[in-house]
Amino acid sequence: MISIKDSVHDHIEVDGVAEALLDTPIVQRLRRIRQLGTVSFVYPSANHTRFEHSLGVYHLADRALSNLDIEGANADRIRAAALLHDTGHGPYSHNLEDLIYRQTGRYHDEIDDLLTEGQVGEVLREYGLSPSAVADLVRGDGKYGQLVSGELDVDRMDYLVRDAHHTGVPYGTIDTGRLVRELDFTEGELVLGEGNVQTGESLLLARALMNPTVYSHHVARISKSMLRRAAEGLLRAGATDAWELRRMDDRDLTVALRQCEETAEYARRLDTRDLYKRAVWAEFDAVDDALIDADHDTIREYERDVADEADVDPEHVVLDIPSRPSIPESTSRVVVNGQVRRLRDQSTLVQAVLRVQEDQWRLGVYAPRDVTERVGHAAERVLGLDLDALVSDIRGSRPATLDEFEGH
């Protein structure tokens, strides 16, 4: 057994199969992948990694197993899955996940190939564990997969408190001790036990508050969009392929972007924080449903149309459309008066938070500072938006000046 000092959970004791997995290359690779991708452009201290997060998830899973009286091979599989759950992430975490999925058909939690072969597979088999069974848990399959990937999983419990700690934003602070202590299984479903409606609400509220403040902060979204566009250019130039990109770490991608002629300008902008600015920042109700639901190819067509209208380089227009507002935690199950109920059906607070998510949703159009105004007006015409009304939401009821509109 080894003890590791952690900034969030204090001392984490690692033993058994998890200790054996700790120094495998695919786990150590997580030291070189930032947990929050480009969020450090907003919060400079947000430099924590997927490695320390994975240790935290392992720690909370281990505590949950003790409270649930899960032992033996089932417990070992869950511990292994908790430690390995993020090994499928590409560079900069979720920032490139959609791009990698479009090219490979793999999301970050689909890691059968990574666990079956090489040193990890050897370690798992040495401890009598099936790599495919561990991979199933990482995907959230089966009864015990809910602990690793589900509405009440230990993954989100750790990332909320860890992200809050490292950004300095207090909204993600939750009582992980009570959460893992109150977990239970009812007819194969992971639930919070009787008297824990407020416990469930705290998890959902923390996620809802962290989203606009950290995860969807406009600077984080702009830099993420630029990084994604740069990675697309890297693939288009033939400097790498999607399978190789999937296994890069943050350093690998940064170097590749600098060395490729087609992406060098993006690399320079990201290196120096010379980011694109908001040309449009549109509310949910102001955007047509067809545009909200547009696929990647359609979005690229819109970008080219806006660029043509504005007479700018197509690479200088980025259209950023988030998915429809939702909070997965709202479907968490909690026992109330002996009955299992969904949190959203039990809590009026949850219903209010769901409405707020729609209020906070924004479509973004981004461009270099010197063409922001032209691109904004072109986007207004091409996308059918009332730009004057939309800009006003940044600084109250009056239309914002360009300087205000471009602020950090």
- Report the pLDDT value the prediction gives residue 402, as an integer from 0 to 100: 36
Q: Is 141 exposed, middle or buried (0-12, 13-18, 19+ CB in 10 A)?
A: middle
Could you give the number of structural domains in the chain?
2
- Report the pLDDT value the prediction gives residue 358, as an integer from 0 to 100: 87
CB atoms within 10 A of CB 274: 12
The overall longest dimension of the chain from CA atoms, in Å, is 66
CATH number at residue 89: 1.10.3210.10
Instruction: Examine the domain organization and report whether 7 and 124 are in the same domain.
Output: yes
pLDDT in tens, 123-154: 999 999 999 999 999 999 999 999 999 999 99
In a domain, 38, yes or no: yes
Instruction: Examine the domain organization and report whether 281 and 162 are in the same domain.
Output: no
Instruction: Examine the domain organization and report whether 143 and 292 are in the same domain.
Output: no
In a domain, 120, yes or no: yes
- Report the pLDDT value the prediction gives residue 325, as an integer from 0 to 100: 85
pLDDT in tens, 82-101: 999 999 999 999 999 999 99
Contact 303, 318 (CB under 8 A): yes
In a domain, 351, yes or no: no
In a domain, 18, yes or no: yes
Q: Is 166 exposed, middle or buried (0-12, 13-18, 19+ CB in 10 A)?
A: buried
In a domain, 330, yes or no: no
Does the pLDDT of residue 20 top 80, yes or no?
yes
**Percentage of the chain exceeding pLDDT 90:** 84
Which range of residues forms the domain containing residue 378? 276-324+361-408
pTM of the full structure: 0.92
Instruction: Examine the domain organization and report whether 25 and 157 are in the same domain.
Output: yes
pLDDT in tens, 334-366: 999 999 999 888 888 888 888 888 889 999 999
Mean pLDDT of 62-71: 96
Query: Of 143, 168, 193, which residue constitutes the final position of a domain?
Result: 168
Q: Is 115 exposed, middle or buried (0-12, 13-18, 19+ CB in 10 A)?
A: buried
Residue with tokens 């705290």: 202
pLDDT in tens, 240-297: 999 999 999 999 999 999 999 999 999 999 999 999 999 999 999 899 999 999 999 9
Query: Of 125, 144, 168, which residue constitutes the final position of a domain?
Result: 168
Q: Confidence class of residue 388 from pLDDT cuts 50, 70 and 90?
A: low
CB atoms within 10 A of CB 217: 20
- Report the pLDDT value the prediction gives residue 408, as an integer from 0 to 100: 38
Of the given ranges (2-6, 131-135, 331-335), which has the lowest mean pLDDT?
A: 331-335
- Report the pLDDT value the prediction gives residue 403, as an integer from 0 to 100: 37
The residues, any chain, with a CB within 8 Å of residue 307's CB and separated by 6 or more, are: 313, 314, 316, 317, 375, 378
Contact 236, 230 (CB under 8 A): no
Q: Is 234 helix (H, G, I), strand (E, B) or coil?
A: helix
CA atoms within 13 A on the CB side of 150: 23
Q: Is 100 helix (H, G, I), strand (E, B) or coil?
A: helix
Does the pLDDT of residue 398 top 50, yes or no?
no
What is the C-alpha to C-alpha distance for residues 344 and 327, in angstroms, rounded to an integer? 10
Q: Confidence class of residue 387 from pLDDT cuts 50, 70 and 90?
A: low
In a domain, 203, yes or no: no
Mean pLDDT of 392-397: 40
Instruction: Examine the domain organization and report whether 157 and 281 are in the same domain.
Output: no
Query: Of 148, 168, 188, which residue constitutes the final position of a domain?
Result: 168
In a domain, 89, yes or no: yes
Query: How distant is the alpha carbon of residue 149 from its chain centre?
Result: 13
Structure tokens of 146? 């809910």
Return mean pLDDT, the chain: 92
- The CA-atom distances, in angstroms, between 311 and each of 22, 315, 385 are 53, 12, 19
pLDDT in tens, 200-249: 999 999 999 999 999 999 999 999 999 999 999 999 999 999 999 999 99
In a domain, 15, yes or no: yes
Contact 77, 131 (CB under 8 A): no
